[in-house]
């Protein structure tokens, strides 16, 4: 079955929460499956943009705040792919969807990533994201978060 990106439905919460709960990064910041499911479901119920990768089941999701960066630009609040399916192009599909949303706004896409998350940093850099700021101790006292930006429509480095 083909993978499609579609809007989040209330019954996706449990599966998306389980993806978060199985992700060490989210575990380190204390975000478990049940809380993540509640957060994502509430966000979708309030009209926020939560997208799901669906191939007959949920393979991942992205939570996008359409104007969450400085009140004018798209901000990727959360992204996750089922652990067993990472490095298979699914994250790129979600990022394409995020960047499409950014293009409909002002053409800027922003996100934050932990400085220590080397795999994610490489992924974003290959897509053309560049560091525009550093936020020490924001999520965890001893971790620096990097603010990344991409002007959508700019060719990525592959």
Long-range contacts from 70-78, C-beta under 8 angstroms, 24+ separation: 72/105, 72/106, 72/108, 73/102, 73/105, 73/106, 73/108, 73/109, 73/110, 74/98, 74/101, 74/102, 74/105, 74/108, 74/109, 74/110, 75/110, 75/111, 76/109, 76/110, 76/111, 78/20, 78/40
Rounded average pLDDT over 63-83: 93
Q: Which CATH class is domain 4-151?
A: alpha beta
Domain spans, the chain: 4-151
- Checking if the pLDDT of 156 tops 70, the result is no
- Which is more confident, 158 or 102? 102
Rounded average pLDDT over 76-95: 87
* Confidence class for position 34, pLDDT limits 50, 70, 90: very high
């Amino acid at each position: 079955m083909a993978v499609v990106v579609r809007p989040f439905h209330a019954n996706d919460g449990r599966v998306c929460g389980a993806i978060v709960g199985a992700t060490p990064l989210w575990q380190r910041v204390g975000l478990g499956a049940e809380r993540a499911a509640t957060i994502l479901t509430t966000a979708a119920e309030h009209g926020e943009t939560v997208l799901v990768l669906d191939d007959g089941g949920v393979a991942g999701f992205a939570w996008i705040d359409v104007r969450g960066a400085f009140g004018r630009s798209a901000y990727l609040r959360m992204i996750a792919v089922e652990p067993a399916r990472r490095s298979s192009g699914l994250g790129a599909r979600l990022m394409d969807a995020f960047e499409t949303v950014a293009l409909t706004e002002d053409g800027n896409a922003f996100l934050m990533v932990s400085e220590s998350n080397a795999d994610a940093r490489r992924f974003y850099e290959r897509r053309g994201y560049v560091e525009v700021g550093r936020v020490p101790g924001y999520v965890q006292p001893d971790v620096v978060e990097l603010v990344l930006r991409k002007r959508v429509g700019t060719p990525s480095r592959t």
